[in-house]
Amino acid sequence: MQRTGIADLPLHGGRAPRWLFSRMVRLARALCLAILEEFGRAELLRRLSDPFWFQAFGCLLGFDWHSSGLTTTVCGALKEALAPLSLETGIFVCGGKGRTSLKTPEEILFWAEKAGLPQEFRHLPDISRLSAKVDNTALQDGYQLYHHTFIFTVEGTWAVIQQGMNQFTALARRYHWLSERVRDLTEEPHTGIATVRREPEVLDLTARESQAVRRVLCHLLQAPPDQILREIERVRRLELPRRHGLSERDLEPRGLRKVLLSAYERPPEDFREVLGIKGLGPRSLRALTLTAELLYDVRASRTDPARYAFAHGGKDGHPFPVDRRAYEDTVRFLEEALNRARLGQKDRLKALRRLTLLIG
C-alpha cells in the first residue's frame, strides 16, 4: 500500500548516547538482514528511499519523531551496521554528515574496486555529485545540504538520502532518491521530500513545468559571456515582477562572469551539464533563470515540491524513555530469527510476515 503525505521535521536538542547508538547499530543490522533475507536488496533500497518508512525506521531505533539528528544518526548506524557485511550482502553505504559527505565519491570507488565491480560503476560518483547539486542549486528552497548518504548494490541500483538545514528557521528537510524511479536526474527525481512546511518562495528547476526554462538555459549559456551580462544589465533596469520577490542582488551574483566563460568554452548540451559547470551556485543559476524568463517568455516553477509510531521510546524521553530491556529483546529476536533462517528454519520470519498481514 502506497503512503503519501507530510512528515514534520523540526530540530530539537540532544544527541544519541553511546549506549543507544551501539544498540541502534545492532538493531539496524538485524532489521536490514531480515529484509534482505525475505525480500532482497532492491526492496531494502525501496524502503530506505520512502521518507515515511525511513522515519518509522528511525523511531523504531529509538528516536523521537521530532528529534534532531534522526537522519544523520540513522544513516550513521546503517553505515556502521552494514560495512562489515558489505561484500557478503552486496550493499554499500557511503557518505555521511559534513566533511564526510565530501568523501562519498571516493568511498563509492573504494567499494566498487574492493568488490571487483565492473567499470560501469565508475559513473556512480557522478550521480552522487549531481544529486547534491540538484537539491542545493536546481531546487532552491532555502535548505543548505549538510548530509549526503549514497547507498548502492552490486546490481548497480542506488538510493540517496540527504538533508538540508534552513539557517534562519532551524528547520530540516530530507530528500530521498531511488534509481528505479528516476527517469531523468534533473526532472522530478525524488521519491519523497520530508519537511516541516511548504515554503512560499521556492525556485524549482526540476519541476516538469520548468522544462522550457531548462532548455532555454542551455541555449542561453552558449552565447558569449559579455552578451549575457548585457542582457542581465537590461533586466536590472526593467521593473522587476513582484511575483518573484527579487532584489538587484539576485541579478549580480559573485563569480558569474567566470561561470559564463566556463560555459562558453564548453557549451552545455543539456541541463545536467548546466549543473556541472564549475562554480555555478544557486545565485548564479537564479540570475540566469530570471534572465531566461524575461527574454524568452518562459516560466520556472515556484511551487514547493515537498509533500509514527513508537516501539522502544525516544532518546529525549518522549513519549517515554527508551526501554532497554524491550530493545534488547527485539534485537535478540531478530538475530536469532536470522541465525535460524540460515539453518533453513524460517519459522520466526514467517511469523513476522503473518503478523504484518494481520495488522496491515
199 and 286 within one domain: no
DSSP state of 269: S
Q: In which band, very low, low, confident or very high, does the pLDDT at 287 lie, cut at 50, 70 and 90?
A: confident
215 and 190 within one domain: no
266 and 191 within one domain: no
190 and 244 within one domain: no
Q: Residue 349 falls within a domain, yes or no?
A: no
Q: Please indicate, yes or no, whether the overall pTM of this predicted structure exceeds 0.75.
A: yes
What Rg do the C-alpha atoms of the chain give, in angstroms?
A: 23
pLDDT over 90, % of the chain: 48
Q: Which three cell numbers, joined as nine digits, stand for 197?
A: 512546511
Which has more pLDDT, 285 or 353?
285
58 and 191 within one domain: yes
**Exposure string over 213-226, b if 16+ CB within 10 A, otherwise e:** bbebbbebbeeebe
122 and 215 within one domain: no
Arithmetic mean of pLDDT, 167-186:
92
219 and 177 within one domain: no
34 and 179 within one domain: yes
Q: Residue 76 falls within a domain, yes or no?
A: yes
Are 207 and 306 spatial neighbours (Cβ–Cβ below 8 Å)? no
Arithmetic mean of pLDDT, 53-81:
82
Are 328 and 311 spatial neighbours (Cβ–Cβ below 8 Å)? no
- Most confident range (mean pLDDT) of 132-141, 236-245, 296-305 is 132-141
- Most confident range (mean pLDDT) of 131-145, 236-250, 317-331 is 131-145
Please write the tens of the pLDDT for every residue from 104-158.
Answer: 999 999 999 999 999 889 999 999 999 999 999 999 999 999 999 999 999 999 9
Domain range for 173 is: 18-204
Are 33 and 338 spatial neighbours (Cβ–Cβ below 8 Å)? yes
Total domains in the fold of the chain: 2
94 and 40 within one domain: yes
Of 161, 177, 204, the residue at which a domain comes to its end is 204
How far is Cα of residue 324 from the mean position of the Cα atoms in its chain? 31
Q: How far apart are the first and last CA of the chain?
A: 9
Are 129 and 105 spatial neighbours (Cβ–Cβ below 8 Å)? yes
Of 204, 221, 240, the residue at which a domain comes to its end is 204
142 and 41 within one domain: yes
In a 13 Å sphere around the CA of 22, the CA atoms on its Cβ side amount to 5
Residue that the C-alpha cell 530521498 belongs to: 176
Of 204, 231, 266, the residue at which a domain comes to its end is 204
225 and 137 within one domain: no
Q: Where are the alpha helices (DSSP H) in 144-296?
A: 211-220, 225-237, 256-265, 271-275, 282-296
100 and 50 within one domain: yes
